[in-house]
Amino acid sequence: MRIADVLRSKGTAVATVEPGASVAHLVAVLAEHNVGALVVVGDDGIAGIVSERDVVRRLHETGADLLRSSVADIMTAEVFTCSPKDAVDDLTVVMTERRFRHVPVVDGGRLVGIVSIGDVVKSRISQLEAGQDQLAAYIAQG
């Protein structure tokens, strides 16, 4: 199974935020879209990624003043991305080893989706269920 298959199932919508937006705005967009992370997009494309965890950890360090800070102050600027052609199993390994929960999907330099650890687990469960159904059908025939 490829990342393109996951996107076909879940959709390609990606919630984004600009690096200069306030953290208060970021929190509102996270809540509005009911997501755990946003891709930070600037004039030159993907500038970073920022998650609920980033907000919580920095809030613990700096307090409520964080809400007036910019997204650029708390985002992760080094973003790991994947391609629609990548295998889900390969991405699962990378996400687990590097402890990523969200990975933007880029095709031809353009943001075309985002995949969460929940998406890859769901796709793996679907694969296992399909295999189980095939085995049951085989046994029932034989």
Mind listing the domains of the chain with CATH numbers? Answer: 3-141 (3.10.580.10)
Residue 142 pLDDT class (50, 70, 90 cuts): low
Give the pLDDT of residue 113: 97
Q: Under a CB-based contact definition with an 8 Å cutoff, are residues 50 and 40 in contact?
A: yes
CA angle 109, 115, 117 (to 5 degrees): 145
The pTM score is 0.86
Nearest CA-CA partner of 115 in 141, 94, 138, 137: 94
pLDDT in tens, 80-109: 999 999 999 999 999 999 999 999 999 999
Select from 15, 45, 50 the least CA-distant residue to 110.
45
Q: Mean pLDDT, to the nearest integer, of 31-43?
A: 96
Average pLDDT, the chain: 92
